[in-house]
Structure 1
Amino acid sequence: MDDGRRERIFKAAEIYCKVQMTAEEAASSSPGKTGSDVDHSIADILPRKRRLAPGKSGDENTNTSQRHTELATTKHRQKRQDKCPYLGTINRHLLDFDFEKVCSITLANSHIYACLVCGRYFEGRGVNTHAYIHALEESHYIFMNLHDCRVYCLPENYEVEDASLNDIAVRCFVKLYISLLQLVLKPRFTKDYVANVDSTIVYGRALDGADFIPGCVGLNNLKNTDYFNVVIQAICSVASLRNYLLLLETEKIQPPDHVITSLVELVRKIFNPKNFKGIVSPHEFLQTVGVASKGVYKIGNHGDPAALMSWLFNRVHSRLKSKRTDASIITKTFGGELMMSSLDGKDWKESIVPFRMITLDVPTAPIFKDAQERNIIPQVPIFQLLQKFDGRTEHTSSTGKVCRYRMWKLPQYLIVNIKRFTRNNFFLEKNPTIVSFPMKNLDLAPCMDERSPERDGQDARYDLVCNICHQGSPSAGSYKVHVLHAPTGSWYELEDLLVTSVLPQFVAQTESYIQVYKRQSSDRGAAPEETAESVNVYG
């Protein structure tokens, strides 16, 4: 459905609802008013060419229309309590379904209804509930259940159903009107749509007329939550994980997990071209993560995106892994293996260690200044840092062991964490060294073990799809992310709500902190086999 048709549907439904409200008020204030006067206003919104039946004169058609109108008016009065004249009071500009679904008064999280007039959330819809009282005090009558998307009119407490409308054309208008509201609250995608996300150029248009790119939308910073935003954008840049989340049926997760459910809803909103706004607020997801992490990652606190990403991957893996194979979408997407040789006395012992993220150590920055009394910012290529995995360079692990590393199994997506921050006894220090890296064809073949089964016959080259960088001081700085828009091949910089197009050369000169590479041999945008197709058709 294009944007023009969507707007025409909204306007037609709103016109009908306003006419209904006027008719109801006129009927109540003028008891002697005929049914033809009421239904004649409804007919004014329909195309004029449909009023005259083919082969009949205007007088004959008028008489027939009056007879049908009288009959319809009788039925209208009989079923008047089932019809809602208040749909025209819905204010789409005030609706924001990104907030946590809790009552604005009691903070309860069950049986929550959204007022479609002012956008506030209330608990329940029965007598003496907060939604019921709000309807009486504020004269806001239309509410939507945030769980099943059903619409009710309070305080009469009846469901707004399109089947109660006696005109088939207007019935379609209101049905689509409510359906589009439901698509904004809980968007759904088909398997075919998701499979073409990386190959089809799609643009959306907000209610204010601004265009946006689904998948490259800004995220609200809810006070020091920039590290949350860059992790969310990085997840959206990983095609296999993104496709899995778009099609995941969260109702089948047992026991239910609020972190995964809110993450799925957030990713769907980011890729929804029918959003009312060109931005998305991650408020609900941040609240659930704050509760699940026991306050380690919460709104208002600075955090490390690498630590948050590891915590989130562990959470998703533990809740969605197979009981038979212990595999999940996380291990299939990011799971790799290292051949680690550790020194035990005088002998080297070899073992295969799994990983989801590799860490590269940055050389220490010089403490002296140049001749002009300026700080020297060195620059090193990423290939120099990858010598850590050549099998000869020795490193001391966190447990104090001397180790050597070689790549044994390469993942579909490689996450590289460039270690810039170190904490001494007093404060946090940042290494400003610039790490230069290729945007395409990062070859890891020199890092592979000679005995690896992937040594021959598989491509070990990677292309960059996401780059998280840090700017500013360690304590007061912020994070931003560069993502590749696959359908156009363009790069975009996302810094909270700000979305700008950038050149690839600019991305390579930033203070990169986390990089996400995609293996060239992996299928572009392929969804995992265990993904179940959504039962609801999107669009």
Structure 2
Amino acid sequence: MSRVRRLSDNKYDPRTLKKSRTPAKQLPFYLESIDIKKLDFDREQICSVTLSPLNVYCCLTCGKFLQGRGEKSVAFLHSIHEDHHVFMNLKTRRAYILPENYEIPAIQFLEKIKFAICPSYTQKDIASYPVKCFDMSNNPYLNGLVGLDDPNHTLHVTVILQLVAQISPLRDILLLMDSEDFKDELLKRLSVLVKKIWSPYLFRSHLSPHEFLHQLTLVKTTTAEETDPKSFLLWLINYICTSNPELKKVLTQNMRGEIIAKTTTVKEVSMKGEGSLTFVKDESSSSLRKRKFWILSLDLPPMPLFKDGFDTNSIPQVKMETLMNKFNGTQVVHTNDGTTSYETSRLPKFLILHIDRFNRKDEYPIKNRNQTLVKFPDTLVLKGRAYQLITSIAHNAIKGNYSDEAEVDQESEWKLQVLERKGGRWFEINGKSVTPKEKELLFLDESYLQVWEALE
């Protein structure tokens, strides 16, 4: 990470100006009125007066989103009444001087504002990431490891958005494709958000997912109880697959695996002379069935009956290799009709594991969750294929709202732990905060979702 990217402050180089119909004496004065600190392109891109999303411009002096640039338009009147003159179209990213209605030629300073609206990348750019960057307040950050705001308690969504941005085949296509080429509006906004997460020229070292979340409310009905990252990840994968064939191909090739389920029924057999019943497997009824999967769910061993006074040393621990025995074909899972065993027949390049901690039928599923800690190796070997952990979503329980009349359940918080693969360092993203994380301490958190990448 030897390269360093800095975002210039409100400065421009007059030598970069090309010929323009704008009077040469006026243009430098207008450009000096641009105030980057007031610009925010993470919010909904609609006119602040008419609430229309059509033909919206950003006033680069005050940051307001205003419609049109023709006479009597909202932006035109704003330029006269407020004496603000530099505007940029949020779709075409072309800049104009109003009310004169002159287009500003391409200059480096405006290019960085265009990049902030919707970044664009080349394969060479992606190969060099992450790099050390600085925002406009000179705060350092690594692109790709950027915190997200948590509006309206949506951490279960934002951690999945961060996770998606770390899966390289999906990330690359979202970075390289023009966001306007996505016909589906939600995918378009997902693409823009992932582009911003990997931007080396952020105005601030954190982002707001407001645009994506707003569109999400229009396509997905969510109840207050649906705060499970696993459920949202599965929903998002299925939505992508049904909305975009190209992205579906990328997901299928890299993230979908296959297991073989062997099901055997159990029969009741009466014991002669003893007047009792016993249960035996009917091997003749065994059947094999192949099943595709996006996520493998792992079952934790039961917690001890008495859990009071737990500390880090007394909380039960289990190895990841032990949990993965569920899918080696020898461990039997009992069902209502008999027994089932599972064996992986095809492992994907990116293996997503779900550590099941909650009994959603429990009156207090969070308070009574399984807190067993999972110890995982540096390299997980499955079917002769080696995997490396690259991201982990961890759960944290916080105290719920208690009243005198009744007790309520605890509440869940979610954070993402990410491996910065170039330097081999781990970072923890908790809302807007990004902090280094000791690799040896990862297992002390309640891991819930993990992504393992195959080492080719």
TM range (shorter): 0.7 to 0.9
Pick one of 150, 161, 164 that aligns with 1:221.
150
The CA RMSD measured in Å over matched residues stands at 2.9
Q: Equivalent residue of 1:89, what SS? A: coil
Residues 1:408 and 2:345 aligned together: yes
Q: One-letter code of the match for 2:77? A: I
| Aligned twin of 1:310 | 234
Q: Distance in 1 between matches of 2:322 and 2:72?
A: 69
C-alpha displacement at 1:239, in angstroms?
Answer: 1.7
CA drift of 1:505 comes to 0.8
Please state how far the C-alpha of 1:436 moved relative to its aligned partner: 2.4
Match of 1:193 in 2: 125
Distance change in 2, residues 1:333/1:475 (3 Å): farther
Which residue in 2 is equivalent to 1:257? 184
In 1, are the aligned partners of 2:46 and 2:56 still within 8 Å (CA)? Answer: yes
Q: 2:205 aligns with which of 251, 262, 278?
A: 278
Map of 2:262 onto structure 1: 341
* Counterpart position of 2:451: 516
CA contact (8 A) 1:439 1:508 kept: no
Question: Shift of the alpha carbon at 1:131?
Answer: 1.9
Provide closer, same or farther for how the CA distance between residues 305 and 373 of structure 1 changes in structure 2, counting only shifts above 3 A: closer
Say which SS state the counterpart of residue 501 (structure 1) adopts. Answer: strand
Q: Provide the rounded CA distance (Å) in 1 between the counterparts of 2:143 and 2:364.
A: 40
CA distance in 2, matches of 1:396, 1:296: 33
Whether the aligned pair in 2 keeps the contact of 1:382 and 1:435 (CA below 8 Å) is no
8 Å contact 1:393–1:404 — kept in the other structure?
yes
Instruction: Report if aligned partners of 1:195, 1:243 keep a CA contact under 8 Å in 2.
Output: no
- Which residue number in structure 1 is paired with residue 36 of structure 2? 92
Q: Which runs of 5+ in 2 are unaligned?
A: 267-281, 399-408
Q: What is the aligned partner in structure 2 of residue 26 from structure 1?
A: none
Structure 1 contact 336–409 (Cα < 8 Å) conserved: yes
Q: From 176, 194, 207, give the equivalent of 1:247.
A: 176
Over residues 225-275 of structure 1, what are the superposed CA-to-partner deviations in whole Å (9 max), with x where a residue is unaligned?
21122112211222222112111234334xx11111111111111111111
Alpha-carbon distance in 2 for matches of 1:327, 1:181: 32
Q: Percent identity?
A: 29
Q: Is the 8 A contact 2:48 2:64 kept in 1?
A: yes
1:329 — aligned with what? Answer: 250
Report the counterpart of residue 419 of structure 1 in structure 2: 356
Q: Alignment partner of 2:263: what SS?
A: strand
What amino acid does structure 2 have at the position aligned with 1:360?
Answer: L
Which aligned pairs between 1:331-410 and structure 2 lie closer than 5 A?
331-343=252-264, 346=282, 347-369=285-307, 377-395=315-333, 402-410=339-347
**Residue 418 of structure 1 aligns to a residue in which SS?**
strand
- What SS does the corresponding residue of 1:350 show, helix, strand or coil? strand
SS at match of 1:108: coil
CA distance in 2: counterparts of 1:150 and 1:400, whole angstroms: 65
Q: Whose helix fraction is larger, Structure 1's or Structure 2's?
A: 1
Return closer, same or farther for 1:369/1:359 CA change in 2, 3 Å cut-off.
Answer: closer
Cα distance in structure 1, aligned partners of 2:228 and 2:44? 23
SS at match of 1:391: strand
**What is the aligned counterpart of 2:137 among 203, 208, 214?**
208
- Which structure has the larger Rg over C-alpha atoms? 1
Q: Distance in 2 between matches of 1:482 and 1:425?
A: 28
C-alpha separation in 1, matches of 2:310 and 2:389: 36
Residue type at the aligned position of 1:176: Q
Distance 1:138-1:407 versus aligned 2 partners, 3 A rule? same
**What SS is found at the alignment partner of 2:158?**
helix
Deviation at 1:212, TM superposition (A): 0.8
Summarize the Cα distance change of 1:365–1:106 in structure 2 as closer, same or farther, 3 Å threshold: farther
Q: Where does residue 179 of structure 1 map in the other structure?
A: 111
The letter for the 2-side match of 1:261 is K
**For the residues of structure 1 that align with 2:49 and 2:358, how far apart are their CA atoms?**
42
1:196 is displaced (CA, Å) by: 3.5
Q: Which amino acid aligns with 1:275?
A: L
Shift of 1:159: 1.8
Q: Determine if contact 2:34/2:86 at 8 Å carries over to the other structure.
A: yes
Residue 529 of structure 1 corresponds to which residue in structure 2?
A: none
CA deviation after TM superposition for structure 1 residue 321, in Å = 2.1
Counterpart code for 1:415? I
Whichever residue aligns with residue 115 of structure 2, its letter is L
Q: 2:395 aligns with which of 463, 470, 487?
A: 470
* Deviation readout 1:289-313 (Å, 9 max, x if unpaired): 22121x328xx88611111111111
TM-score relative to the length of structure 1: 0.72
**How far off is 1:206 after superposition?**
0.9
Name the structure with the higher strand share: 2
SS state at 2:91 partner = coil
CA 1:12–1:433: 2 relative to 1, 3 Å: closer
1:125-167 deviations in whole A, cap 9, x for unaligned? 22333222322332222111111101122223332235xxxxx
User: Does the 8 Å CA contact 2:258/2:346 hold for their aligned counterparts?
Assistant: yes
Please, which moves more after superposition, 219-228 or 489-498? 219-228
Query: CA, structure 1 residues 109+366, in 2 after alignment: closer, same or farther (shift >3 Å)?
Result: same
Q: What is the letter of the counterpart of residue 467 of structure 1?
A: S
Corresponding residue number in structure 2 for 1:11: 11
Pair 388,3 (structure 1): closer, same or farther in 2 beyond 3 Å: closer
The CA deviation string for residues 454-504 of structure 1, in whole angstroms up to 9 with x for no partner, is xxxxx4221100111111146423101110001111000110111111110
Asked if structure 2 preserves the Cα contact closer than 8 Å seen for 1:123 and 1:130, the reply is yes
Q: Does 1:124 align with 2:68?
A: yes
Matches of 1:250 and 1:281, distance apart in 2: 18
Count of residue correspondences: 422
Superposed, 1:479-498 pairs within 5 Å as 479-498=414-433
What is the alpha-carbon distance in structure 1 between the residues aligned to residue 162 and residue 296 of structure 2?
A: 20
Contact 1:184 1:276 in 2 (8 A): yes
